[in-house]
Amino acid sequence: MSKTVVTLDLPPLKTQVEIAIGEGLLKSDLAKICRSRSGQIAIIADSNIASTYGKLVEEMTGGCMLPLTGGEEAKTRESKQKFEDELLRRKFGRDTLLIGLGGGVVTDFTAFLASTYMRGVPHILVPTTLLAMVDAAIGGKCGVDTPFGKNLIGAIYHPSHILIDPALLASLPDPEWTHGLAEILKYGLIADPSIWELLERDPLHWKKSLLSLLLSSIRVKKNVVEQDPLETIGLRRILNFGHTIAHALEALSQFKMPHGEAVAIGCIAESCLSHRLGFLSKEDFSRIKTLFRKFSFSFKLPKAFALEPMIDAMLIDKKAKAREPRFVLIDRIGHALPFDGSYCRTVPAAELKALIQEELCLNT
Ligand SMILES: NC(=O)c1ccc[n+]([C@@H]2O[C@H](COP(=O)([O-])OP(=O)(O)OC[C@H]3O[C@@H](n4cnc5c(N)ncnc54)[C@H](O)[C@@H]3O)[C@@H](O)[C@H]2O)c1
Ligand SMILES: [Zn+2]
């Protein structure tokens, strides 16, 4: 079995996170880590995989499984309180270890639960979706949703270990693969042209290169998080490429549009903005459109997405400043523009309107 270990060094946080990536390492590594410590173990598992991987982890670690049912709708303060009460009722103390086993919903939820339980207990994340493996589980951001918006209550709290075992993806439904792929494509656009080249070489059989894509994507996120662990210097914004538009689309669809689909449209649209503003060449923009098309990502939006509400929705984005949306832009495949360290900039309203009307075919 081959295994790669990447260490996330965070001197300002005095934290080190071991991210182990390898086929089959859940079985080999998790029990070993758990044996090396004393104390109780609670496994927070996505209810859809509780009877399969959850059971396995329970047997391997001797922990007690608490399933999280309901997906994104369960990522709330109310659920967190229920889990806290359950842990307290079962007398889980300060020496508790939490294991989060699931997609981004569970990794966000478990890490936030760990960050406040007994003023903070250690946790291990075992992401089971592609999106959580390359994105959600890494970087320490965690939290819950509120009726006022997603992820508005949370913390930055890192696990001791992240175990990434691609074997766990065997049961993942096709649309979930696509959502992870959208984020991998984003990493290629902002920081690693080799990701892009690999996907361009054989798009139909991209899963054959899964391990390599996982490693490259995780390295991009690691590099950004290490340089900007608390999201203070702006660099972390590059991870938000495609997301100004994606977040607006998700909000306007009342969160019915899956994040991955919104990110794909957002990446194409924000590449288009980069091109229209003269930063990105026609050739690179054309390569970007071609590859997204090969993966059957949609370019067009339903008529319901009208121009003004779209622009309004972009203002919810945390990069917005003085009631103007700001965008991460690229000047070639694999490079986000620094803009004096802000890594984003405003776009003239006329340009934005033209983009939405001409490229995304709104109001037509
Ligand atoms: N913290 C961060 O930096 C960060 C980054 C990106 C996304 N997120 C969060 O991640 C969440 C989205 O994550 P997601 O896309 O993984 O969604 P998810 O956790 O809802 O999982 C998607 C679906 O896949 C199922 N599933 C999970 N693993 C499976 C497996 N191995 N086999 C079969 N089915 C499986 C789940 O039950 C669910 O139905 C959102 O809440 C988002 O806010 C956080
Ligand atoms: Zn995203």
What digits encode the pLDDT tens for the residues 254-306? Answer: 888 889 999 999 999 999 999 999 999 999 999 999 999 999 887 777 666 77
Q: What positions carry a catalytic annotation?
A: 119, 141, 183, 221, 231, 236, 240, 243, 247, 259
Which atom of ligand 1 is nearest to 141's Cα? 1
d(CA 237, CA 250): 19
What DSSP line would sit under 229-250, residue for residue? TTS-SSGGGGGGTTHHHHHHHH
Query: Would the CA dihedral through 326, 320, 357, 271 be positive or negative?
Result: positive
The reported pLDDT for the residue numbered 362 is 45
Å from CA of 353 to ligand 2 middle: 23
Q: Compute CA distances 208 → 164, 180, 199, 306, whole Å.
A: 17, 15, 10, 40
Half-sphere exposure of 89 (CA within 13 A, CB side): 7
Q: Which amino acid, residue 69?
A: T
What digits encode the pLDDT tens for the residues 51-106? Answer: 999 999 999 999 999 999 999 999 999 999 999 999 999 999 999 999 999 999 99
Asked whether the predicted pLDDT for residue 31 surpasses 70, the reply is yes
What digits encode the pLDDT tens for the residues 123-174? Answer: 999 999 999 999 999 999 999 999 888 899 999 999 999 999 999 999 999 9
Q: Do domains 4-171 and 174-359 have the same CATH topology?
A: no
Q: What is the domain partition of the chain in residue ranges?
A: 4-171, 174-359
Pick the CATH number of 4-171 from 3.40.50.1970, 1.25.40.390, 3.30.413.10, 3.40.50.2300: 3.40.50.1970
Look up tokens 């890494």; give the residue: 138
CB-neighbour burial class of residue 123 (10 A; exposed 0-12, middle 13-18, buried 19+): buried
Å from CA of 131 to ligand 2 middle: 8
The reported pLDDT for the residue numbered 150 is 87
pLDDT mean over 319-343: 93
Which ligand is in closest contact with the Cα of 132? 1
Q: What are phi and psi of 103, to 5 degrees?
A: -80, -165
d(CA 42, CA 47): 14
What digits encode the pLDDT tens for the residues 185-241? Answer: 999 999 999 999 999 999 999 999 999 999 999 999 999 999 998 888 899 999 999
Q: Can you give the pTM of this predicted structure?
A: 0.94
The reported pLDDT for the residue numbered 269 is 92
Asked whether the predicted pLDDT for residue 364 surpasses 80, the reply is no
Closest residue by CA, ligand 1 atom 6 = 136
Closest residue by CA, ligand 1 atom 38 = 71
What single DSSP character describes residue 168? G
Å from CA of 328 to ligand 1 middle: 24
User: Which among 131, 150, 183 is the best mutation to test ligand 1's pocket, defined by most ligand atoms within 8 Å of the CB?
Assistant: 131
List residues near ligand 1 (CB under 6 A). 46, 48-49, 71-72, 75, 102-106, 108, 128-129, 131-132, 135-136, 139, 141-142, 150-151, 168-169, 171-172, 176, 179
Which atom of ligand 1 is nearest to 179's Cα? 15
Asked if residue 299 lies in contact with residue 332, where contact means CB atoms within 8 angstroms, the answer is: no
Q: Which tokens go with 179?
A: 């959502």
Q: Which amino acid, residue 38?
A: S
The reported pLDDT for the residue numbered 360 is 73
Structure confidence at residue 361 as a pLDDT band (50, 70, 90): low
User: Which among 176, 225, 256, 261 is the best mutation to test ligand 1's pocket, defined by most ligand atoms within 8 Å of the CB?
Assistant: 176
Class (C level, CATH) for 174-359: mainly alpha
